[in-house]
Amino acid sequence: MEFVEVEHINSIIDQFVQKKYIHLGGLFYVYQINRFNKKKTRVIQCSDGQLIIFSIEAIIINKEIYDIRLIQEVQMDLSNTLFLRLNPFQLLIKTSAGNCVIQTVNPEEMDVLIEGLMESARSLSINSTTITCAQFYYPSSVILQEN
């Protein structure tokens, strides 16, 4: 396995992201490092409430970044979404101000956190039909589910 500093890969990919999505605003990301190449998942919240989730792969040859390519991209409307499960460990939560925060928890605590969020929404008299829980699984193919 060829070694390339993770932070260097992150900065190169972030430059790629900024060029492609410079007009969008807030950038949130989580990453997963594979054995033979570098795959990153980026989550971008747009000012209009849209969420863009995409995977980028950095191809490493002779300890140099050879290519960066977009693997998959998903656009979602978060206007009626309370939270988004990014992976078994991370949950993106939309705050009352409309911003997004990423909460990292143990897999065992994930269901408890989700139930707590749903209960909070019910206690705030939010119509339960407008609450969606979408899930994004990485690095397998994209599966979006709304409950």
Per DSSP, the three-state class of 109 is: helix
Residue 70's DSSP bridge partners are 56
Map tokens 């790629």 to a residue.
16
Question: Could you give the C-alpha distances from 54 to 6, 39, 131, in angstroms and in order?
Answer: 19, 10, 23
Bridge partner list, 92:
84, 102
Q: What pLDDT score was predicted for residue 84?
A: 72
What pLDDT tens digit does each residue of the chain (147 aa) get?
Answer: 345 566 666 777 777 766 666 555 555 555 555 555 566 667 766 666 666 777 777 776 666 666 667 666 666 666 666 777 777 777 777 766 666 777 788 878 888 887 887 777 666 655 444 444 444 433 333 333 333
**Amino acid symbol at 104:** T
pLDDT at 90: 76
Q: How far apart are CA 106 and CA 95, in angstroms?
A: 21
What one-letter code names the amino acid at 55? Answer: S
pLDDT at res. 140: 33
25: left (phi over 0), alpha (psi -120 to 50) or beta: left
